[in-house]
A = this chain, B = another copy of it.
């Protein structure tokens, strides 16, 4: 049976570090504060925000909330973001996506101050992650995968890592993060011809395609470490991108869903918040 790479101890370890940092910062008179931005009615965002508020509370971090009406114009939203950029009591900004259709995140992402960009959407952070600059902030989910791999001491140097999925928040930034750690990276996607064969050959397989249990035993082989980034909600139940029952009988190690990558992501947002505060005070 595969070793289960649970997210909880990873999140706890990150949480311990954060708490220590928060104590230090508070002694210096800094009260770490994250602001969440929700536009329109977004039930998913509201429940995610609740989780973030709760976690922030555990760390001694304040979470401020900004809610804007569904029909806010891009100019006004941009203005609001610029106000948050300037606000010295706000250290990090998290914009919940997706935004309503008339708002273009590809324009709005230019407006968020990269030094407050806890989820790594600003072009400056994207460029830093691409270039391997240490002060860059990657998207939280991609960093959550790195945290899990490191917590469980999974070697990366020279390893053949296949990523299934090429999204802007996981596949592509994660490829860069792993490349900077000297892994050999294959990025695959819906147009890949021989995905089963490629997946089977990987030392580490990372599924981030967003399709319920699409990765079955035909994609897996013994000895692999398998990371499941998928969070697919079907009839109120959460499924990963990997069929867990197949994987646990074949591979060496696998992250569960729920309780894997997803349970680390929120802690990473706060880790990034601390990183923002520390790099700005240098």
Contacts and interface: CB of A to CB of B under 8 A. Distances in A.
A133 interface: yes
Interface of A: 106, 123-124, 126-128, 130-131, 133, 157-160, 166, 168, 172, 175-176, 179, 182-189, 191-194, 198
Contacts of A128: 123
B127 A193 contact: no
9 contacts: A123-B126, A123-B128, A126-B130, A158-B191, A158-B193, A160-B194, A179-B187, A184-B192, A184-B193
Contact of A130 (B172, B191, B193): B172
DSSP class of A's interface residues: helix, strand, loop or mixed? mixed
Contacts of A193: 158-160, 184
Nearest to A172: B130
Nearest to A132: B168
Contact of A126 (B127, B188, B192): B127
A193 B192 CA distance: 23
